[in-house]
Structure 1
Amino acid sequence: MRWWGNSLISIWHNGGRFNVFTIGKSQRPRAIAWIAGAWILVWAPLAAYAIPSFPGHLGTGQVDIRGEPRTAHGFQPSSFSRPSWLQRETLVNVAADAAPDGTVQDPSLGVNLGDVTDWSTELPFLDLMRSSRPWVAHEEGVWGAWSNERLATEGYLSPEGWPQRLPDGSTGFQTAVLTEQPEEARSIAGTYLLRWEGSATVTLDGLVENIRPEDGAIRFTFAPDKAGAVLIGVTNLDAADPFRNMTLVREDRAALLEGGAVFNPDFLARIQDFRALRFMDWMKTNNSTQRAWEDRPQVTDASWMQRGVPVEIMVQLANEVGADPWFTLPHQADDDYVARFSSYVRDHLDPGLKVYAEWSNEVWNFAFEQTHWAAAQATERWGVAPGGDGFIQFAGVRASEVADIWQTAFGPEAESRLIRVIGTQTGWKGLEVPLLDAPLGVAEGRRPPAESFDAYAVTGYFGHGIGSEDMAPQLLEWLDRGTAVAEVTELARSDLQQLVEDFWPYHQQIARDRNLTLVAYEGGTHIVGHGPVMEDADITQFFTSYSYTPEMGALYGVLLTEWAQLGAGLFTAYSGISSPSRYGSWGALRHLDDSNPRWDALVAANAIAAGWEDRDPSVFRNGVIRLGSDHGETLTGTPEEDDLIALDGDDILIPLGGGDRLHGGPGEDIVRLPGALSDWTKASDGLATVLQQGTEIVRLTAVEVVEFQGSGDRMIITGPD
């Protein structure tokens, strides 16, 4: 903590935050800023946000955040010194202290989770087969001669997606995991354990060393490399003992997976303190082909890369980390699909959490099939609409129908548990009118769509035009002169100014006029090459480097401070964790081991308490993962969803509530539960014993005895059955 002029500041550095003392001042913190290598909470407004020179980075001197709005054909450098939009005070609420378990008590930001693929650096699941590439089959000299779709259609895969028999002429099945992982992601290196059930010959290729085959298993070591992947091959299948249930886990976390845990602890550590998680990419929302409930992703699917992550898993993640889930249902999903999905969420989500419910994603964006589908539906229903806005009117009508199904599912609980969202294009003023009013739908006797929603969603992107074809020659010139960082920062500020001064206030007024809360469904840098520009290696290298500099972190600080000043609701960054490429630098973290000023800006802003709603802070608390040692000990959980994993020795495990998973490991292990034996029901999921008392569920693996503290009863467990 220190004084900066007349401003009292609290400093974040290296992921930590010192306590804040006001020294006789009663002001709330008013902004966040990156100054001299640290994130700062500012109690009185700085004269201007400044970006100092940072040795070791691409470097600028001090730069006032200023700039002209971008023109229709690109950007113009600014010529004035200090805009009024950065001189005004930005009022936000007091920063939240951390709970004893490290949880941010009242977080303020959401984050979009990344696409589930074999090349994703998010690595959300303990079992890497959950994000494996769908199986293909090769022929001699033809890699992938049989696509996954063809294999499934012609009956060569099980309903879950596991190889069952080889097509004639095929040399084998293959899948890929841990593809093109950056060398800097050091924590994912190690020894891995691959296991499967059924009769098959399993082979490994690619980034594997020290291969040690066993019966139904292979151990190997892996080190990340952007130039390769782990390739898993399968041949010699036997219909009498079908191949199935392959898992791949880092060996030191095998007990965690056996105990029933789903999520990678390193992933959880990065995302668990956000207020909300938007699942658009996890649900494969864009261009989705799902229609009926039977088309949905299943927990038993061999991989969740193809159809998306099941609702059961998304709800489980929200419950475990204490975050509001934001779902984006497929555009073709029928009413039964919506009703079943919403009912599952109602029944299984922590009742203290809220649901953001949205139909599809960006049904104004003709880059996506859902917009073409909406246009076709509108033409079939109404013919050619005057003004050509039939597609967005239909989007409003269908979105309202889906929102009404959510409302019906939640019934009287909807007011406290449900937030129905409709989104528009931020830069297309006026598009919201046919979306929210849908006069062609109203003419059919329907209510205006706006009446079915609670929130109106826009974006918070800046820098889109910087990567345009018109800008490419100028960018290359700046790179040659060594001034690209300063110039691009200037352009990004100009775009950010237009967003803050023009688009956001416009949409905030629309929201207020319709009695809706303004939220941001995505936001952050949009600096990426357009068309042929993305193929320019020099520009791509600059963009992917610049996106993680202190200059970018400072821009994020301004973005998030100005959003708080707007008085709107949730801001949801896009996205959390993904590797930068010529297609964009969307991830605030490039991999799970990354650290950079842009991510630090999100963390700092997230720690400033949300001011738009009053919630019990306990709903945002996380569960814990507690790993034992090789000696007997006592492991005690929390009231949240926990994993208690003992190792060797005779251990005592004490869960305190939630959906806990307990693994005793070798030895004589005891679990202590409240109440009497008669209070609990016993079942099995095939792998573990499951005990339930009301809403409290405890999953037991490798546990020999359960003691019930209210009665002295004991239960002897001999297996999961």
Structure 2
Amino acid sequence: MGYSKSNVNHHGISFLSTAFVQLVISISLLVPLHVAASVPVGVGLTRLADFSGSQPFVNIMKQSRPWIYKRRENGRWVNVKESPSLSEFGYPTMLGDNEFVMTRFFSNLDGHYRSGKYRFTYKGEAKFRWDGDAKVIKTKPGEVWLEIAAPKQGFGLSISHVKVGAPLSDMDLRHETELDSKEVFTQPFIEGLSPFEIIRFMDWQRTNNSSVSTWNQRTPKQYYTQALPKGVALEYQIDLANQLDVSGWFVIPHLADDDYVEKFAKLLNAEYRSSKPLFIEYTNEGWNSFFKQSKHLCGIGASKKLSKNPKQACARAYSERAVEVLNLVKKHLKPEIKLVRVISGMAVSPTRTKNILEWKDAFKHVDAFAIAPYFGGTNHWKPVTKREEQSLKKSMNQVTAQYPLPHVLKNTASFIRNIEKELKAQKAITDQYKLKLITYEAGQHLVAYGGGKSVEATNKTFHAANRHPQMYDIYQDYLSVWEKVVGNEIVMYNYVEKSNRFGSWGLGEYDGHLCDYPKYRAVADYIDPIAGVCSGQQAKSPK
């Protein structure tokens, strides 16, 4: 899978001469060993979806797309917004002649999932139809066997005619190599996360724009899929932190009421068994006007008249509720769990940092201030406008050449120098208040927003830059700058995600052979260059 240290070739070592061995020993005494990094490195998990490059669950149903409900109306099938009759855990309890539900698996992954046989088991009675890459090879009540000869587009499942009195439940879809597995998470997923000391669950929780406000709105662990707008069940997140024995970093939704916060703390008391500290944060990027949480907090700031300055009012509203939430967690969390209370801000805005920390002495109620010191952001890459593009009258190749790959790589490397100034300015403030400066996200930010051929071409170049072996050196340099200037926890964004028009956020793009990806390998080698998961492997440019 690209993780084993056995990939390093030791063949023939017994034939080395004594003189050569003595020479190696002499050199090793003169040259200091590059030991494992002293900076704790974490990673954010990617949103769980049927199109995710990462496949965490042994039971693939847990990653299936939420039901698409179709009904026959006026002689044709149409999508229906309301839900069909479903059980507590999302299984269809009744479907008649003129309705069905459908879901999908491994969508838009360009064939990056396992071939072979898959077994689908269930309880209840219904009709099943499989499409796409899946071929049915055997079936009996309660069990269907599929074969995926050549993974390409993924496959789908349609369900109809659920028998009254025999509702569906306990659906399980798994690969033939995991039929008897008692594990919840796949081995490639666990191995890929093994270098990291912190797992941030923000995207698994679907924190941004969350509608969750009460405890009973959260996703149950028993629900047929976890790829829901409400996020993965908190119990699964805790299970993963426990299994890896890492710090879990959990984010409280911006609408969460006090009862939600208290019950979350009690759930952690009951189930969090990792020996590592627990990180708790209130919402994600409360300053970012792109998200609903920012609009919500700014509305509170305005209604309470926290400041005549709208931005300052937003920052104060965030600071106030964050302290309330963090104090509630601390109050209800048992003392055996080491709690790190996190409040966050903008890497480029020391003024906002002061506004957040100084409001009602918020700094006295937190342990760490988190930022996202990205490099190569949109302020550096400004694609032409649609009007300018129309006047260019260039071929696609010429448009692409506006940002040739060598130019992108060279300038991306130079952007890291700008990060030092940001870090020093932020650290001066956090040092003043005796708080740790950490990151909630970190890494490159090569993405062009908007439409048109120039934006599409620019993003293709950015994707190529992220896959280029030189990105290994850029990331190593970036991590070294962080270690030199700050030296505290750094959480990379993010684990595995396919490059797309919204960016190239993943350290890798697909589970398995992650060391082929220069960003993942750079981080893994930084964590442990001698005995790490990627030690001894050469740089590659993934396709």
Q: Please, which of 242, 259, 280 is the counterpart of residue 167 of structure 2?
A: 242
1:400 matched to 2:328: no
The one-letter amino acid paired with 2:415 is: D
The CA distance in 2 between the partners of 1:223 and 1:528, in whole Å, is 36
The CA distance in 2 between the partners of 1:530 and 1:559, in whole Å, is 24
Shift of 1:229: 2.8
The CA distance in 1 between the partners of 2:102 and 2:494, in whole Å, is 30
The one-letter amino acid paired with 1:455 is: A
Pick the structure with more helix per residue: 2
Q: Please, which of 411, 415, 418 is the counterpart of residue 498 of structure 1?
A: 418
Mean Cα deviation higher: 543-552 or 394-403: 543-552
Paired residue for 1:95? 36
Secondary structure in 1 matching 2:94: coil
CA shift in 2, pair 1:483/1:241, >3 Å: closer
Whether the aligned pair in 2 keeps the contact of 1:194 and 1:218 (CA below 8 Å) is: yes
CA shift in 2, pair 1:190/1:355, >3 Å: same
Give me the TM-score of the superposition, normalised by structure 2.
0.86
Whether the aligned pair in 2 keeps the contact of 1:467 and 1:530 (CA below 8 Å) is: no
Paired residue for 1:456? 369
Paired residue for 1:308? 231
Please list, as runs of the form range in 1=range in 2, the aligned pairs for 1:65-104 lying within 5 A after superposition. Answer: 94-95=35-36
Q: Deviations over 1:257-309 (max 9, x none)?
A: xx3x2101111111122111110010010011111111111101121111211
Please list, as runs of the form range in 1=range in 2, the aligned pairs for 1:88-237 lying within 5 A after superposition. Answer: 94-95=35-36, 108-140=40-72, 145-147=79-81, 150-151=82-83, 156-166=85-95, 169-170=98-99, 172-183=100-111, 185=112, 188-222=114-148, 228-237=153-162
Paired residue for 2:500? 581
Shift of 1:487: 0.9
The CA distance in 1 between the partners of 2:58 and 2:190, in whole Å, is 11
Mean Cα deviation higher: 308-317 or 457-466: 457-466
The one-letter amino acid paired with 1:499 is: I
Shift of 1:483: 7.5
Shift of 1:20: 10
The one-letter amino acid paired with 2:144 is: I
Q: Please, which of 22, 28, 32 is the counterpart of residue 23 of structure 1?
A: 28
CA shift in 2, pair 1:339/1:565, >3 Å: same
The one-letter amino acid paired with 1:157 is: L
Whether the aligned pair in 2 keeps the contact of 1:136 and 1:144 (CA below 8 Å) is: no
Whether the aligned pair in 2 keeps the contact of 1:478 and 1:484 (CA below 8 Å) is: no
1:272 matched to 2:194: yes
Paired residue for 1:431? 352
1:419 matched to 2:340: yes
Pick the structure with more strand per residue: 1
Q: Please, which of 424, 441, 445 is the counterpart of residue 522 of structure 1?
A: 441
Whether the aligned pair in 2 keeps the contact of 1:109 and 1:605 (CA below 8 Å) is: no
Length, aligned pairs only: 504
The one-letter amino acid paired with 1:290 is: V
CA shift in 2, pair 1:605/1:319, >3 Å: same
The one-letter amino acid paired with 1:395 is: Y
Secondary structure in 1 matching 2:93: coil
Whether the aligned pair in 2 keeps the contact of 1:528 and 1:534 (CA below 8 Å) is: no
Mean Cα deviation higher: 122-131 or 161-170: 161-170
Q: What percentage of aligned pairs have identical amino acids? A: 24
The CA distance in 2 between the partners of 1:477 and 1:297, in whole Å, is 47
Whether the aligned pair in 2 keeps the contact of 1:328 and 1:359 (CA below 8 Å) is: yes
Larger gyration radius, structure 1 or structure 2: 1
Shift of 1:375: 1.1
Please list, as runs of the form range in 1=range in 2, the aligned pairs for 1:496-645 lying within 5 A after superposition. Answer: 496-500=416-420, 502-532=421-451, 536-594=455-513, 595-607=516-528
Shift of 1:407: 1.4
The CA distance in 2 between the partners of 1:142 and 1:331, in whole Å, is 41
Whether the aligned pair in 1 keeps the contact of 2:96 and 2:161 (CA below 8 Å) is: no
Q: Please, which of 354, 358, 380 is the counterpart of residue 277 of structure 2?
A: 354
Please list, as runs of the form range in 1=range in 2, the aligned pairs for 1:374-389 lying within 5 A after superposition. Answer: 374-382=297-305, 385-389=308-312
CA shift in 2, pair 1:427/1:470, >3 Å: farther
CA shift in 2, pair 1:133/1:15, >3 Å: same
Shift of 1:467: 4.1
Whether the aligned pair in 1 keeps the contact of 2:96 and 2:160 (CA below 8 Å) is: no
CA shift in 2, pair 1:143/1:369, >3 Å: farther
The CA distance in 2 between the partners of 1:450 and 1:478, in whole Å, is 52
CA shift in 2, pair 1:197/1:499, >3 Å: same
Give me the TM-score of the superposition, normalised by structure 1.
0.65
Shift of 1:538: 2.8
The CA distance in 2 between the partners of 1:253 and 1:458, in whole Å, is 40
The one-letter amino acid paired with 1:234 is: I
Shift of 1:568: 2.9
The CA distance in 2 between the partners of 1:394 and 1:21, in whole Å, is 62
Whether the aligned pair in 2 keeps the contact of 1:107 and 1:274 (CA below 8 Å) is: no
The CA distance in 1 between the partners of 2:423 and 2:145, in whole Å, is 54
Shift of 1:250: 0.5
The CA distance in 2 between the partners of 1:561 and 1:17, in whole Å, is 29
Whether the aligned pair in 2 keeps the contact of 1:164 and 1:242 (CA below 8 Å) is: yes
Q: Please, which of 287, 293, 302 is the counterpart of residue 364 of structure 1?
A: 287
Shift of 1:405: 1.4
The CA distance in 1 between the partners of 2:189 and 2:25, in whole Å, is 29
CA shift in 2, pair 1:541/1:567, >3 Å: closer
Q: Deviations over 1:113-137 (max 9, x none)?
A: 1100011010111111111111122
The CA distance in 1 between the partners of 2:26 and 2:294, in whole Å, is 52
The CA distance in 1 between the partners of 2:474 and 2:76, in whole Å, is 48
